[in-house]
Chain A
Amino acid sequence: MGKQHTVELTTRDGHVLSFECHEQESLLVGAERNGITLPAICRGGSCGACRARCTDGGYRASEHSMAALPNDAVERGEVLLCSTFPRTPLRIVVDQDRAAIQAGPIPERTATVAEVHPVGGGVVRLALTLEPDDHGNAAATFEPGQYMELSPPGQGFTRAYSPINTPNWEGRLEFYIRLQPQGKFSGWLRQARPGAPVRVRGPSGSFKLDETSLGARWFVAGGTGLAPILSMLRWMGELQAMQPVRLYFGVHDQSQLFALEELEELRSQLPGLKLETCLWHPGEPWQGFIGTPAEALARDLDAALAQGAKPSIYVCGPPGLVDAVEQLVNPLGLGAKLHAERFLPS
């Protein structure tokens, strides 16, 4: 993206935040890329909400509304963060307190094990209860699709899992974990009792719903890649989302099937949900789709495109599955509508 410059932001209450900004990105976008989210409304030079003052350095200003930033304000060194592109290192003064800017380290909390419950296929549902943080905040805050890093104290390892439930005020986090014979986390989980402490760092990750998309949403889940997708689907149910929705859920064979009860429950929350369970190598007779969920997707996608529909596609699973879906949708011109997350069993 070309040259970068250091931008130093001073808040109204005197904190200094600095970030690197490319010449081709606005200060607003550069700050956001670095986890500093500043107040902004129109993001296009019209509203004046992101007005700040440049006290040092050179920049290029893109076209903006005179009402949002009149000439006399420009002469005073005022800028619109959404329309200012750095040419040299910059010093910027913003009119917000530090607390109004979303940024900083990823939250870390302590939780306790509430329940470990087998859900079939060698997978367990681990439920944790978050303790209130230093400010007394007890809520479980994340966006459906994001993940949390879990570290049992004193064990020396950390694993990342996506919650299967939705953000809530009880401080409850639920995960699907496939028990691995030699896995460290699996070993810990087998002996974990209710009340056992766990450190939780998160949320992280950008695998999230595009909330503004209006068209159909098709989800492709491989194994416990179902977890973030289940959270997204449950969230859509809570919001009574109106988009047509499909889920292709695949595992190797019958012995690996899990979460069937939860999926059945999901149907009542999302009455329009079309669910297809795919077995790659069914050991016994199987009435459903035989093959990978990517293959089931391929079968339906042609028909959908022929009718003019362009679904958004969300895929989470092993790298092989994600690659297969990417190779399928990119030539069809749906690459921009693909949201993908790979995971490796650990």
Chain B
Amino acid sequence: MFCYQCEQTYRNADAAGCASARGACGKDESTADLQDLLIHAVKGIGWYAKRARDLGAPDNAAGGFMINALFTTLTNVNFNPARIAALVHEAAKVRDRVKGAYEQAAESQGKPLETPAEPAAFVPAADIDALIAQAQAAAITRGAESVGEDVIGLRALMLYGLKGVAAYAHHARMLGQESAEVYAGIENALDFLASEPTDVGALLTNALALGDLNLKVMELLDAGNTGTFGTPEPTSVRVTPVAGKAILVSGHDMADLAALLEQTAGTGINVYTHGEMLPAHSYPELKKYPHLVGNYGGAWQDQQRDFSEFPGPVLMTSNCIIEPQPSYRQRIFTTGPVGWPGLRHLENHDFSVLIQAARALPGFSADAPEERITIGFGRDAVLGVADTVIGAVKSGAIRHFFLVGGCDGAAPGRNYYTDFVRQTPKDTVVLTLGCAKYRFNREPLGEIGGIPRLLDMGQCNDSYSAIKVAAALAEAFDCELNDLPLSLVLSWFEQKAAAVLLTLLALGIRNIRLGPSLPAFLTPAVLNALVEAFNIQPITTPEADLAAALPNVAA
């Protein structure tokens, strides 16, 4: 195996990447190799699907398959090699269907058939060992000796960005939001990658095009969330348990949570959110359920402790699962793209077994002392008080905004974000999103003229909301995004963050601080190119980064 798609990938002085029998995430060699092969097979679908679409024979169902398949290969999603192997075979069948449509359309229009790129002609071996052997040809580093590390790194940047796009598109699809334009964009990216591109300029352009595409996908997901569950509103959320039977929902999928809330209504079972499900409490159509009682635990990397201590079953709806500990292995369930060998997987929103488990397990015996946090500052909430905010900026009451957000993780260097937020001056406002917020979302930062100094905007995909707010402020101040008194201090872990980063770069946003470490797939040359174009920089120390952000502020 070779994989360096996440932030915690193995690094030493000479090299980076997980290349042993088991990745840092816990993914074994067979799973990693089969995931490479699945990507290869999906590129093949993309190659045909683009051509079929160009000839007026689009297959959006193939698009749905592709985004699900790509999502299964994100960090901490699916560790079940048997499931990945089955998807490889399914991919070949989908490819054959799209191929048929392409050939028929080409024939009826009198167009000559193009010679398929290698992934489009892929035939999966029937036997599992032979299938794993085929993965060698699909390795991410294939051809490095001839095309060089920069090209491999740029292809990786694109592929990982595409995975993030696919994950958000899958979430949107679960809420009934699909778009032919998005599928076409995904097909274009896959077709480009299938051609084994070597032009550095073209690779960068295509990577930024994915950033544009991701903005559309986040908009789609935003429409799915707000269209289904209403507009997020500032909400006080209990973060300590109450007595009673309990189910914990982790991951990111609001549609799964909604179905579970519906099925548990009136049963006396309480439902808690974990990790990135926290923003659920701010949506009117989810918070209306009185048995959605609170948020439990911390960010994803705390799950082994959180799930061990939780006295009920756990539902993992999307990324980020890590190896289930023996203490809760029997009471964690997966759904959607998630998988772990030997865990029960629930499909089609049938949560009856989960509910049965909640009834059999003890639940909380008593209320814990009440603690609360306030969330739900999406774009409508923030822009609803835009006049106050703009006035505060003009009067100097608010000197600067920081967007501190992204993914959390286990690396000790992530304490930076806690320290950074603690040290922000009292006349500054911190916007946050993603699970990185758990590093500081219980900090008592106070408020400025009635505006809380810490505004939780939601999940990582609610970057869309942050972008909308920034755009509205830029309009109000009649300036460019980069001229706003706003600094972005981001924390990344996996491929959704890669997609969001590409979106920010595609919007031309400069001076982003990125940590806790830079992606291993960004070679020095690629990084230089990004620094030149966007002045993106690694985080240093909270003191130095704050000092660098604040002197330039227009008073």
Q: Interface on A for B, CB 8 Å cutoff?
A: 37, 39-49, 51, 63, 65-70, 73, 96-97, 99-102, 132, 135-139, 141, 143, 167, 169-171, 209, 211-212, 214-215, 238-239, 241-243, 308-309
Contacts and interface: CB of A to CB of B under 8 A. Distances in A.
Contact of A141 (B24, B81, B330, B411): B330
A69 B359 CA distance: 42
Nearest to A42: B24
A197 to B, nearest CB: 20
Contact of B305 (A46, A97, A309): A97
B326 A102 contact: yes
Contact of B309 (A99, A139, A141, A243): A99
Contacts, number: 145
Nearest to A141: B330
A286 B8 CA distance: 61
Interface in B325-373: 325-327, 330-331, 341-342, 344-345, 353, 356-357, 359-363, 365
Interface in B428-487: none
Contact of A212 (B18, B28, B327): B28
B551 to A, nearest CB: 29
A41 B25 contact: yes
Given A41-B410, A46-B9, A136-B362, 8 more contacts: A41-B301, A65-B11, A68-B8, A100-B304, A102-B327, A143-B330, A212-B341, A214-B82
B11 A67 contact: yes
B363 A39 contact: no
A167 B357 CA distance: 11
27 contacts: A37-B325, A37-B326, A39-B304, A41-B24, A41-B25, A41-B26, A42-B8, A44-B20, A44-B22, A49-B301, A51-B412, A65-B10, A67-B8, A68-B410, A99-B308, A101-B308, A132-B362, A136-B361, A137-B361, A138-B361, A169-B353, A169-B357, A170-B360, A209-B342, A211-B342, A212-B30, A239-B344
Contacts of A49: 301, 304, 322, 410
A49 B96 CA distance: 43
B128 interface: yes
Given A47-B410, A67-B413, A214-B128, A139 B357 contact: yes
Query: 7 smallest A-B Cβ distances: which pairs?
Result: A211-B342, A46-B24, A136-B362, A211-B341, A42-B24, A169-B360, A102-B327
Interface string B1-38: 00000001111110000101011111010100000000
Contacts of B413: 67, 70
A40 B28 CA distance: 15
Contact of A214 (B25, B26, B30, B365): B30
A51 B28 CA distance: 22
B8 A48 contact: yes
A107 to B, nearest CB: 12
B326 A44 contact: no
A47 B8 contact: yes
A169 B356 contact: yes
A48 B365 CA distance: 33
A43 B8 CA distance: 13
A70 B12 CA distance: 11
Nearest to B520: A67
Interface string B193-229: 0000000000000000000000000000000000000
Nearest to B413: A67
A243 B342 CA distance: 13
Contacts of A63: 12
Contacts of A73: 412
Nearest to A138: B360
A42 B23 contact: yes
A67 B410 CA distance: 10
Interface residues of B, number: 54
A167 B330 contact: yes
Contacts of B308: 99-102
Given A46-B18, A212-B341, A214-B85, A169 B359 contact: yes
A308 B23 contact: no
A67 B305 contact: no
A169 B344 CA distance: 13
Interface in B288-336: 301, 304-305, 308-309, 311, 322-323, 325-327, 330-331
A139 B20 contact: no
A51 B8 CA distance: 14
A135 B11 contact: no
Contacts of A45: 10
B537 interface: no
Contacts of A212: 28, 30, 81, 341
Nearest to B7: A67
Contacts of A51: 412
B12 A65 contact: yes
B114 interface: no
A137 B360 contact: yes
Given A41-B25, A48-B8, A139-B361, A239 B305 contact: no
Contacts of B8: 42, 46-48, 67-68
A238 B323 CA distance: 21
A174 B24 CA distance: 39
A241 B357 CA distance: 22
Given A67-B11, A170-B360, A42 B82 contact: no
A111 to B, nearest CB: 14
B323 A37 contact: no
Given A63-B12, A99-B309, A239 B345 contact: yes
Given A39-B304, A66-B11, A243-B82, A47 B357 contact: no
Given A46-B8, A65-B12, A239-B345, A41 B322 contact: yes
Contacts of A67: 8, 11, 411, 413, 516-517
A321 B446 CA distance: 72
Contacts of B516: 67
B12 A238 contact: no
B71 to A, nearest CB: 20
B81 A214 contact: yes
A76 to B, nearest CB: 11
A212 B79 CA distance: 9
A39 B24 contact: no
B342 to A, nearest CB: 3
B129 A215 contact: yes
B360 A66 contact: no
Name, among A43, A70, A215, A239, the residue most crowded by chain B CB atoms within 10 Å (CB to CB).
Answer: A239
B145 interface: no
A102 B329 CA distance: 11
A65 B13 CA distance: 9
A44 B26 CA distance: 9
Contacts of B362: 132, 135-137
Contacts of A242: 82, 85-86
Contacts of B360: 137-139, 169-171
Name, among A46, A48, A73, A101, the residue most crowded by chain B CB atoms within 10 Å (CB to CB).
Answer: A46
B327 A37 contact: yes
Contacts of B127: 308-309
A170 B516 CA distance: 46
A137 to B, nearest CB: 5
Nearest to A49: B410
Contacts of A135: 311, 362, 365
Contacts of A214: 30, 81-82, 85, 128
Contacts of B23: 42
A100 to B, nearest CB: 4
Contacts of B331: 139, 141
B246 to A, nearest CB: 12
